[in-house]
Structure 1
Amino acid sequence: MIDLLKVWVTNITVAIFFITAVEMILPDNSMKKYAKFVLGLMLIVVIINPIIKLFDKDFDLNSYSSKATSYMEGSNQAADINKYKDINIVNTTENFKINLQKECITNLEETYPENKYNADVDVVYDNKNGAFNINKVEIEVVDSGVQNIKNIKIDTQSVDASNKNILTNTQGNQIKKLLSSKLKISNDVITVYKVNS
């Protein structure tokens, strides 16, 4: 028991000398506080290691650290990183799409407040360039008034009741020009429809 206590006190003393030496050679910058934090964690581990061994005889800090190291170097980590990267890309793409749609509607309502607008944007992430591409922007200009009856195609598999009229007049071109300049995209990917409310 005395030998264990002697080894414990020696380990704490060596750790304190090591920490003091490292702190003396660290430059005075923002990294110093992070280094002190890590060194403090090391000192805590050295202090509590024998206490943990009293409760768990099989506890070995080296085995836990080697397992963590092997996980970081193993193929599981690469698979996990790719999985989380894919999930992050999907979530970011969806958020980007929603924010872009809101921005389109806000810009149109500020510039042309006489109408209401809906937006649908198709955004795809380009892995090669690491950028988001806007493939399609569809703007619906909601016109109040009596709704026109459109042809309804009834099929055994689907029903198509589309009431979208593509705007190719001045209003449609002005909307395209506005969004093209705001979003920095080509006019070709923007389509403007007029729908009755």
Structure 2
Amino acid sequence: MIDILKEWIINIASLILFITAVEMLLPDNSLKKYSKFVLGLILMTVLINPIIKIFNKNFNISVYSQNISRVIYDEEKVDSIEKYKEESLKNTIKNFETNLEQIIGDKLKDEFKVLNTKIEIQAEYSDEDNNFNIKDIKIGIKDGKVEKVKKVKVSVGEKTLEEKEKDKLHDDIKSYLSKELRVEESIITVYKL
């Protein structure tokens, strides 16, 4: 009887140490509350197991509790992990886009002295390449000067010198970013704000 009591106390103490270690290692998210629930069930079975053994010699509650906790834990774990993975991927893509927008803005300021830009990036994560792919880059450029009212010229099929210069600037920006970012020019759109 003393050996049984000694074994029971050792099981309780070691389980409490294990539960404490697991709780300290788990991150603070929805998975932690489910883990605490399962660990609490296991602790209850360890506490109750000797009492049930007294009444029924063939009954082993730890086997039943382990099976139940494994089923509950696996189902909740899969759902939580998938949700966490999706949210994490969305946040990572958003951070990637924001950082790339900042980098492009800085490069345009340095290379072309363009001060006012509006940059929009669309990116996606590819599981096959395990890499981020840029789907679309839109760059709005404003020269920052107050424009004078110009004479209205109606011409058919011929661009003015100013329009040709703007088109050249847009083409130069597309070519420059294509080389710097190693992407195709077709995904880069440059427009006037």
The TM tier, using the shorter chain, reads: 0.5 to 0.7
Among 41, 51, 57, the alignment partner of 2:18 is 41
Structure 2 CA distance for partners of 1:144 and 1:73, relative to 1, 3 Å: closer
Check whether the contact 1:109–1:117 (CA below 8 A) recurs between aligned residues: no
Aligned twin of 1:71: 72
Once residues 176 and 5 of structure 2 are traced to their aligned partners in structure 1, the CA distance between those partners, rounded to angstroms, is 73
Q: Structure 1, residues 85-119: CA drift from partner, whole Å, max 9, x if none?
A: 22222222222211111111122223233533221
Name the structure where strand makes up a greater proportion of residues: 1
Q: Which runs of 4+ in 1 moved over 6 A?
A: 11-14
Among 6, 9, 30, the alignment partner of 2:3 is 6
* 5+ long unaligned stretches in structure 2: 22-38, 53-60, 150-162
Aligned twin of 1:154: none
Aligned twin of 1:168: 167
Once residues 177 and 91 of structure 2 are traced to their aligned partners in structure 1, the CA distance between those partners, rounded to angstroms, is 24
* 5+ long unaligned stretches in structure 1: 15-37, 150-164
Once residues 62 and 109 of structure 1 are traced to their aligned partners in structure 2, the CA distance between those partners, rounded to angstroms, is 67
Q: How does 1:17-56 map to 2 (within 5 A)?
A: 41=18, 53=47
Name the structure where helix makes up a greater proportion of residues: 2
Once residues 12 and 79 of structure 1 are traced to their aligned partners in structure 2, the CA distance between those partners, rounded to angstroms, is 36
Identity score, percent: 20
Is 2:144 the counterpart of 1:144? yes
Structure 2 CA distance for partners of 1:92 and 1:13, relative to 1, 3 Å: closer
Secondary structure of residue in 2 paired with 1:168: helix
Q: Give, in angstroms, the shift of residue 186 of structure 1.
A: 0.8
Q: How does 1:39-188 map to 2 (within 5 A)?
A: 41=18, 53=47, 65-74=66-75, 76-113=76-113, 115-126=115-126, 129-147=129-147, 167-169=166-168, 171-188=169-186
Once residues 148 and 131 of structure 1 are traced to their aligned partners in structure 2, the CA distance between those partners, rounded to angstroms, is 47
Check whether the contact 1:122–1:136 (CA below 8 A) recurs between aligned residues: yes
Equivalences, count: 148
TM-score by length of 1: 0.54
